[in-house]
Amino acid sequence: MRISASFFLGGLLLLAAGPLLAQSARPAAKAAPAVKVAAPVIHQGNAAAGRLKAEDERCVECHGHDGNANDIEDGVGNIGKFPRLAGQNVGYIIKQFGEFRSGKRENETMAVMAKTVSAVDLADIAAYFSSQKAMQGDGKGDNPVGRKLFHEGDPARGILACVGCHNERSAGGVPSAAETPLIVGQHRRYLQKQLMEWRAGVRHNSPGGIMNTMAKTLSDAEIDALADYISGR
């Protein structure tokens, strides 16, 4: 009996399709269950514990027991080199500490300090300084140039009003974002130095580099005026 070529080819095709048909008939494999990743544990700082830790970790030697650094000299008789932390935003303190540790923000002393403090201790220390009465100036720095820049900026140069992010004391001095610092009432010398470092690009750890952008066209006189005005609030 002769088998036609077409019959023979059809049988081969059925044999080849068999495994595919059997495979398609199997139930679809179940997707692997999603692995649940636990949210990071954020330590809620304890201000009472932070008071003791701020002493143990020697924070108070530069920033003062109440966070105002009002009587802390820089070794040559000047006050104002070290920033006030009284009432400072917890998120800002923790962010800066992490950036001192990583080297994103440069300061030899703080880089060493940051490497010895645990996350839990840092949260407690930040809570302590934040719980203190907010820093406040003596009211003597009402510089008109600084006041205008702080409240209005300079649109022609693309300088935004400082108050848009940092807020005035009449609004409680509370920054507009969790990691934005309270600056009203900060030491004049410290403010002046930071603005100059933003302008020069020495400091470059603000979100999106906004502070470098805002400071790059400020003159020395305008930086002095802003430092006068902000420190006096």
DSSP class per residue in 132-181: SPPP---S----HHHHHHHHH-BGGGTBPPTHHHH--GGGTT--SSTTSP
Same domain? 124 vs 79: yes
Residue 134 is predicted with a pLDDT of 92
Task: Supply the pLDDT for residue 89.
Answer: 92
Q: Are residues 145 and 222 in the same domain?
A: yes
- Is there a single domain that holds both residue 103 and residue 171? no
160 with 209, same domain? yes
Bigger pLDDT: 107 or 178?
107
80 part of a folded domain: yes
List the structure tokens of 164.
């848009």
Confidence tier at 78 by pLDDT (50, 70, 90): low
Query: What is the domain range of residue 103?
Result: 43-133
Answer yes or no: is 35 within a domain. Answer: no
pLDDT at 145: 97
**What are the residues facing 79 on neighbouring strands?**
73
Do 90 and 74 share a structural domain? yes
Tell me the pTM. 0.77
Q: What share of the chain is helix, strand, coil (3-state, %, to 5)?
A: 50, 0, 45
Q: Are residues 76 and 144 in the same domain?
A: no
* pLDDT for residue 139: 83
Statement to judge: residues 106 and 185 lie in one domain: no
Q: Which of 153, 175, 13 is nearest to 88 (CA)?
A: 175
Residue 171, domain member (yes or no): yes
73 DSSP 8-state letter: B
Q: Is residue 8 part of a domain?
A: no
In a domain, 16, yes or no: no
The pLDDT tens digits for 98-139 are 999 999 999 999 999 999 999 999 999 999 999 999 999 888
Query: Is the pLDDT reported for residue 216 higher than 60?
Result: yes
Structural domain includes residue 13: no
Six-digit token string for 70: 């009002």
What average pLDDT does the segment 13-33 reach?
46
Q: What is the pLDDT of residue 142?
A: 86
Predicted confidence (pLDDT) per residue in 64-77, tens digit: 999 999 877 665 55
CATH number, domain containing residue 159: 1.10.760.10
User: Do 92 and 158 sit in the same domain of this protein?
Assistant: no
pLDDT of residue 175: 55
Please indicate, yes or no, if residue 196 is contained in any of the structural domains: yes
Grouping H, G, I as helix, E, B as strand and the rest as coil, residue 80 is: coil
Share of the chain above pLDDT 90, in %: 67
**Do 158 and 80 sit in the same domain of this protein?**
no
Whether 193 is in a domain gets the answer yes
pLDDT tens-place string over residues 2-14: 444 444 334 433 3
